[in-house]
């Protein structure tokens, strides 16, 4: 079976939905963020702080390539990963891409108490969410399917994805 790749903005539910999806399909689950943290031996926020975003994006590119070459896995790609032509190409070749979406309000609510996302750990995260969503919209729209998770439970989002991919796997 082709890999299933979850993309989408921070706070749209990629990790929780991806884990349950992988369990239901009896597939392994990998997260690009986790692969990066393992490689660099530090949390994402420290990588941003100590080495900067361009370095983070370089490592992200490498782990996306590595994950894309594996078989029979569900991949959760960090929110900015798809906004890069190499990553997009590698992920497209690897399987079916599902974009999880949510409104800026939902994203803000789901992310506001966590200090783990350096891009939103700023005085005006709402403005940043709007800017990044706009910048990345065209990339997110290159996914094979989109699921809006605003009003869905984790279970419901997984069911929706299973229904979508049933026509193509
Ligand atoms: C980022 C999203 C994060 C993580 C990093 C940058 C982004 O992943 O890769 O903080 O650029 O949107 P999640 O989408 O899993 O939070």
Tokens of 14: 């990629």
Mean pLDDT (the chain) is 97
The stretch 99-128 carries a mean pLDDT of 95
Predicted confidence (pLDDT) per residue in 14-49, tens digit: 999 999 999 999 999 999 999 999 999 999 999 999
| % of the chain exceeding 70 in pLDDT | 100
Q: Whose CA is nearest to atom 1 of ligand 1?
A: 79
Check pocket membership of 37 for ligand 1, CB cut-off 6 A: no
Cβ pair 18, 97 in contact under 8 A: no
From the CA of 11, how far away is ligand 1's center (Å)? Answer: 9
Position in ligand 1 atom list of the atom nearest CA 36: 9
The stretch 111-126 carries a mean pLDDT of 93
Cβ pair 100, 145 in contact under 8 A: no
Cβ neighbours for 83, distance < 8 A, ≥ 6 positions apart: 135, 136, 139
Report how far residue 73's alpha carbon sits from residue 18's, in angstroms, rounded to the nearest whole number: 10
pLDDT bin (cut points 50, 70, 90) of residue 113 is confident
CA distances, 71 to each of 11, 40, 86, 150 (Å): 26, 24, 19, 30
Furthest-apart CA pair in the chain: how many Å? Answer: 45
Q: Whose CA is nearest to atom 8 of ligand 1?
A: 78
Predicted confidence (pLDDT) per residue in 147-160, tens digit: 999 999 999 999 99
Q: What is the pTM of this model?
A: 0.97
Q: Whose CA is nearest to atom 15 of ligand 1?
A: 78
Check pocket membership of 125 for ligand 1, CB cut-off 6 A: no
Check pocket membership of 100 for ligand 1, CB cut-off 6 A: no
């Amino acid at each position: 079976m082709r890999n299933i790749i979850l993309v989408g903005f921070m706070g749209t539910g990629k990790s929780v939905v991806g884990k349950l999806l992988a369990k239901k399909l009896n597939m392994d689950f990998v997260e690009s963020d986790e692969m990066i943290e393992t490689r660099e031996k530090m949390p994402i926020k420290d990588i941003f702080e100590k080495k900067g975003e361009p370095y983070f994006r370089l490592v992200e590119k490498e782990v996306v390539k590595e994950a894309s070459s594996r078989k029979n896995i569900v991949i959760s790609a960090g929110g900015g990963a798809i906004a890069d032509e190499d990553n997009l190409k590698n992920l497209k070749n690897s399987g079916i891409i599902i974009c999880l979406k949510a409104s800026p309000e939902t994203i803000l609510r789901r992310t506001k108490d966590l200090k783990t996302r350096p891009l939103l750990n700023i005085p005006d995260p709402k403005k940043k969410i709007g800017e990044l969503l706009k910048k990345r919209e065209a990339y997110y729209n290159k996914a094979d399917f989109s699921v809006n998770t605003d009003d869905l439970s984790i279970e419901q989002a997984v069911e929706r994805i299973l229904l979508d991919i049933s026509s193509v796997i």
